[in-house]
Structure 1
Amino acid sequence: MSISAIPHINFANGQARPALEFYKSVFDGDLLFHTYQDFGMPADAPDADRVVFGQVTTADGFVLMGYDIPGVQEPDFGKPGSTRRANGTTLTEQPMFVSLRIGSLEEATTLFERLTASGTVVEDLASSNWSPGFGIVTDRFGVTWLINVHEE
């Protein structure tokens, strides 16, 4: 059996395009997206210019997908729940994180710094019992990333 998991992030209130452009720059990837109009929605429909399919792909095979949830959501919809560290434990209201296993501390440091641009550091990138580098950041789009160095 061959399985691969690809994070697919659902963005509220038209945030998919700026988020995917941000991730393109963070991961040095290629960006592909299609709007609802591209798939047949009339051009004058309210969500026609929003992203129905978006994907960032890197040269080494990392893939991240996202799209705009149709319609207008409440102002707080899609806002990140709080994530914080207390007494050595991660406390959160979020249903999931994106965990990245990275081959070197240098690469991890670069990605961590890029993801923190206008984001919130939950736990600084530092050595841990299981890794030469582990950190947690919630980016400006409300996605929480666990950065974990896994040197082989």
Structure 2
Amino acid sequence: MTYKATPFILLDGQAREAIRFYESALGAQVVLVKTYGEAPDADDQGLSAEARERVTHSVLVFGGAELYVADCLPEEPAHAGPRVQICVTAPDVAASTRIFSALKDGGEVVAPLEPIYFSPAYGIVRDRYGVTFQIFTERPAEN
């Protein structure tokens, strides 16, 4: 099985500015930017215009490395949790479940591991040492 750990920077409305900065400072290539408003259930969530424009996920590539940058929602200030988290990409739901369960032992579930529009199993857990991990499961390849 192949796993990947990626730094994930969480900001409070400055993600687009940070993306431009890292693009310039690191020579990073922006390969993906998604907003909260692009989520399939965005209309059902009652998001404000500001929240809809915030970045929910972005991927920047520089050299052989990736960096993820996103905004929290306006009602969930970034200062409420660590600004830099680790995103663990697992190859399947079983692997994600195992990792999530191990990390939550003595820790705290921030968001339960469950299917979401961009992953078959995604969750956030803070381990017993206060390190926040996002567990992301790759989607199976479509034939």
Q: What interval of TM-score do these two structures reach, taking the shorter chain for normalisation?
A: 0.3 to 0.5
Structure (1 or 2) with the larger CA radius of gyration: 1
Higher strand share: 2
Higher helix share: 2
TM-score with structure 2 length normalisation?
A: 0.45
With CA pairs under 8 Å and 6+ residues apart, which has the higher RCO, 1 or 2?
2
